Structure 1
Amino acid sequence: MPSCVLAYSGGLDTSVILGWLQDEGYDVHCVYVDVGQPCEDREAIMQKAHDCGAKSARLVDVQEELCRDFAFPVLQWQARYEGIYLLGTSIARPLISKVCLQVAREVGAEAYAHGATGKGNDQCRFQLAAEALDPAVKIIAPWRIPAFREKFPGRTEMIDYCEQKGIPVKASIAKPYSSDENCLHISYEAGKLEELTVDGYEVVDFGMTVSPQEAPDQPEQITVGFESGVPVSVDGEKLSAFEIVQVLNERAGRNGVGRIDIIENRFVGMKSRGVYEAPGMTVLYETHRLLEQLTVDRDLAHLRDRIAPEVAEMVYYGLWYTAKFDALLAFIEEAQKPVTGEVTVNLYKGNILASSRSSPLSLYDEEIASMEGGGSYDQTDAEGFLRIVGLPSRVQGRINPRDY
């Protein structure tokens, strides 16, 4: 029999797909890639896959790798899709594909199946990553197959199929929205959120953050340490990448930090609405930026900021395993070498307020920057500087006088 690896969650969609793939004649190897989904009984999910006829089932915990090797390089770029979205879902997808392809190679499976729809971004991220890693792999995306959609036009038919097959699922026919969670963030979309007159902050039952109105009335201070642009400590305690994200999720979350509501442009061309919460990563983005203000040369910082939107697009589109992205990762690793130090901020009712920052590699010189008299900056030097800078304008002004 042909065999495939299925990116498996144990939920309704992938449970149906597992049964359908078997109906289609496949031996199915289920892979639950643990990127920090909600607290679930992992052993029960694995047992469920076995009970439903999977050839094999395994859980692979990649939370540390997700934070260290995927989220933190994107953080170094200060990459935000369309200026606001911190890319929590986008970052995880190429890693999920990588793990599934590693298992496929190990078990000798020639196909890789996933449950992403034909309307969304995840199909792009899964497939582009998989084909870059194994150009010969066969991608099975059931929601893009007409026969599958005809068999399962809605959740009612999917639930009925599971009942007929004896597949245990916890699912309701109507949902107010769908959500996707990992250790970096939670995304909410579809359902009632497709109505733009609906207040997303009122509809969503947030899982990582309290509302700013319900946050404590006193600010909470926190210090984040960086080495070469990589977060390494919280309040002076050295922690792993995943531990840092965990601690900041808890502390920022209880202070209402990290919620957004965005109308974004999907890779496939349509606009869609997403509500997101990413408390820990929001703190890391802000503290990282504050430290860069001390340590990164102006022209280098401005160059990075011009390229960052393109980096965000590549991550959002799923173009992680490309020569261009490899080069961009090498660039940012070099550019971030001086970004070492500590930043202290106050978390208060959804806000992050700078308190202090320090670095052994700081480019800030108080003697030069001081507005007081004296100091090491000779203001007379500005005269010649401005004569040189203004030369083109003076020449143009003589040749083509402006009305004023």
Structure 2
Amino acid sequence: MKIVVAYSGGLDTSVLLTWLKETYSAEIVAFCADVGQEEELDGLEAKALRTGASKCYIDDLREEFARDFIFPMFQAGAIYEGQYYLGTSIARPLIAKRMVEIARAEKADAVAHGATGKGNDQVRFELTAAALAPELQVIAPWRQDRFREQFPGRAEMIAYAEKNNIPVLASAKKPYSMDRNLLHISFEAGILEDPWFDASAEKAREMYVLSVSPEEAPDKAEHVELVFEKGNCVAIGYHDLDSLLTDLKITGVSYDSDNHAKLNPLQVMRVLNKLGGKHGIGRVDLVENRFVGMKSRGVYETPGGAILHFAHRQVESLTMDREVMHLRDSLIPKYATLVYNGFWFAPEREALQSLITESQKNVTGTVRLKLYKGNIITAGRKSPLSLYNPDIATMEADPTKAYNQNDATGFIALNALRLKVASRVHAQK
């Protein structure tokens, strides 16, 4: 038997790798996806081989993640339950997609993951596998009684690692768990399981990685300009952009006539994360409804995503037809739920995406934002495809004579008819 295992090199997945090899008498292929978690990947292949893997794949998926997952989702304006930018949710289908591709290339019999039986990730991984490779068996050790009985806690895992010469650095567990990718960092469990705990308090500030607290953000606001084409951000303007690009080691960038740097989706996310983090933008503390039925408290940092989402809406406000916008907006909760629940590769999400793509064909323009102490403030927006006509909207005389105010009399009368009829009927009762 051959199994492809989602592997990070930490204690949990290292123990998992050895346990699967031992329990199933299997050949193990390790797979680590780089989706922007910034974890140390040097030496990971050697560690996987020492732990018992026959091969280890370490794939940089950041460009694909930004281009084919984050950007299409942000075209949809998707936010789950009005607050969550779906950072973890959108990464899982990509990781699972690559895992099943490797499994097929390796002619493996199964894929395995270390997601627990209480979370959403198990669903996201396995629904993706079902959609893309239904012939593969999926092994979820945390849903097996024998695994949980053998490893009721971290101490047992450390002892198992020592006994089997598994090369892991086991340290005192943080009072929370953390998951990072290009779009966000999520924090949950431990001290955060108490929804009354103030995650913005000074004692919790050391938890954050991507952003400063709004109180510690610069006292002076900064402006940034985002250029959109067909609903995607393609360029950014900022007063100290050259220095920022140098700091991020982004090279070979060209500029448009307005001195905006032309960037690919990965570069856009990296630049906006840096700017948003500097100004304390994108922190979200929420209690969400998991797909498996329970509520969960999570704290998230999404600095770049928060800016991108806000800016995108500003360009849409100028360029999208009213009824198209309202139709798309009515579908946001459904789209966001599909992403959250793991149905990225389901036909209904793909059908919705076709509508989203069509709705974005005229979402082209530039928005200027002011970033200040956790706030994103609109400082201007413009578009060559703007549907806003100041001559029509003006409170002064309309030089175009496109709108006759007298027409509103009949418009209101027709819309008021059903209200008048209902009011008279109810008055009679």
Q: TM-score, normalised by structure 1?
A: 0.97
Q: Work out whether residues 155 and 173 of structure 1, in 8 Å CA contact, stay in contact via their aligned partners in 2.
A: no
Please list, as runs of the form range in 1=range in 2, the aligned pairs for 1:186-225 lying within 5 A after superposition: 186-202=185-201, 203=204, 205-225=207-227
Indicate the residue corresponding to 1:171 in structure 2.
170
Instruction: Quote the Cα distance in structure 2 between the aligned partners of 1:196 and 1:169.
Output: 33
Indicate the residue corresponding to 1:82 in structure 2.
81
Indicate the residue corresponding to 2:48 in structure 1.
49
Q: Work out whether residues 152 and 158 of structure 1, in 8 Å CA contact, stay in contact via their aligned partners in 2.
A: yes
Instruction: Quote the Cα distance in structure 2 between the aligned partners of 1:402 and 1:61.
Output: 71
Indicate the residue corresponding to 1:359 in structure 2.
383
Indicate the residue corresponding to 2:10 in structure 1.
11
Indicate the residue corresponding to 2:31 in structure 1.
31
Relative distance call for 1:402 and 1:347 in structure 2 (3 A) is farther
Alpha-carbon distance, 1:398 to partner: 4.5
Q: Percent identity?
A: 50
Instruction: Quote the Cα distance in structure 1 between the aligned partners of 2:398 and 2:118.
Output: 64
Q: Work out whether residues 346 and 353 of structure 1, in 8 Å CA contact, stay in contact via their aligned partners in 2.
A: yes
Instruction: Quote the Cα distance in structure 1 between the aligned partners of 2:193 and 2:423.
Output: 54
Indicate the residue corresponding to 1:380 in structure 2.
406
**RMSD between superposed Cα atoms in Å:** 1.3
Q: Residue 301 of structure 2: which of 269, 274, 277 is its match?
A: 277
Which letter does structure 2 place at the counterpart of 1:166?
A: N
| Greater than 4 Å deviation, 4+ residue runs | 397-400
Instruction: Quote the Cα distance in structure 2 between the aligned partners of 1:393 and 1:157.
Output: 69
Relative distance call for 1:399 and 1:52 in structure 2 (3 A) is closer
Say whether residues 1:287 and 2:331 are aligned partners: no
Q: Work out whether residues 156 and 173 of structure 1, in 8 Å CA contact, stay in contact via their aligned partners in 2.
A: no
Instruction: Quote the Cα distance in structure 1 between the aligned partners of 2:347 and 2:30.
Output: 30
More off after superposition, 119-128 vs 291-300: 291-300
Say whether residues 1:241 and 2:243 are aligned partners: no
Q: Residue 307 of structure 1: which of 325, 331, 336 is its match?
A: 331
Instruction: Quote the Cα distance in structure 2 between the aligned partners of 1:295 and 1:283.
Output: 19
Instruction: Quote the Cα distance in structure 1 between the aligned partners of 2:424 and 2:113.
Output: 67
Q: Residue 366 of structure 2: which of 325, 337, 342 is its match?
A: 342
Q: Work out whether residues 35 and 92 of structure 1, in 8 Å CA contact, stay in contact via their aligned partners in 2.
A: yes
Which letter does structure 2 place at the counterpart of 1:299?
A: E
Q: Secondary structure at the match of 2:225?
A: strand
Q: Secondary structure at the match of 2:311?
A: helix
Indicate the residue corresponding to 1:393 in structure 2.
419
Instruction: Quote the Cα distance in structure 2 between the aligned partners of 1:132 and 1:347.
Output: 41
Indicate the residue corresponding to 1:371 in structure 2.
395
Say whether residues 1:162 and 2:185 are aligned partners: no
Which letter does structure 2 place at the counterpart of 1:226?
A: F
Instruction: Quote the Cα distance in structure 2 between the aligned partners of 1:370 and 1:239.
Output: 37
Instruction: Quote the Cα distance in structure 1 between the aligned partners of 2:66 and 2:186.
Output: 17
Instruction: Quote the Cα distance in structure 2 between the aligned partners of 1:125 and 1:170.
Output: 29
Which letter does structure 2 place at the counterpart of 1:28?
A: I
Q: Work out whether residues 50 and 167 of structure 2, in 8 Å CA contact, stay in contact via their aligned partners in 1.
A: no
Which letter does structure 1 place at the counterpart of 2:116?
A: T
Alpha-carbon distance, 1:276 to partner: 0.1
Instruction: Quote the Cα distance in structure 2 between the aligned partners of 1:397 and 1:106.
Output: 69
Which letter does structure 2 place at the counterpart of 1:35?
A: V
Q: Deviations over 1:213-237 (max 9, x none)?
A: 0000111100111111111111111
Instruction: Quote the Cα distance in structure 1 between the aligned partners of 2:44 and 2:335.
Output: 35
Alpha-carbon distance, 1:188 to partner: 0.1
Instruction: Quote the Cα distance in structure 1 between the aligned partners of 2:113 and 2:304.
Output: 28
The number of equivalent residue pairs is 401
Q: Secondary structure at the match of 1:250?
A: helix
Please list, as runs of the form range in 1=range in 2, the aligned pairs for 1:136-155 lying within 5 A after superposition: 136-155=135-154
Alpha-carbon distance, 1:175 to partner: 2.2
Relative distance call for 1:21 and 1:294 in structure 2 (3 A) is same
Say whether residues 1:231 and 2:233 are aligned partners: yes
Which letter does structure 2 place at the counterpart of 1:384?
A: G
Q: Deviations over 1:353-375 (max 9, x none)?
A: 00010111110000111112344
Instruction: Quote the Cα distance in structure 2 between the aligned partners of 1:309 and 1:193.
Output: 26
More off after superposition, 161-170 vs 221-230: 161-170
Q: TM-score, normalised by structure 2?
A: 0.91
Q: Work out whether residues 110 and 139 of structure 2, in 8 Å CA contact, stay in contact via their aligned partners in 1.
A: yes
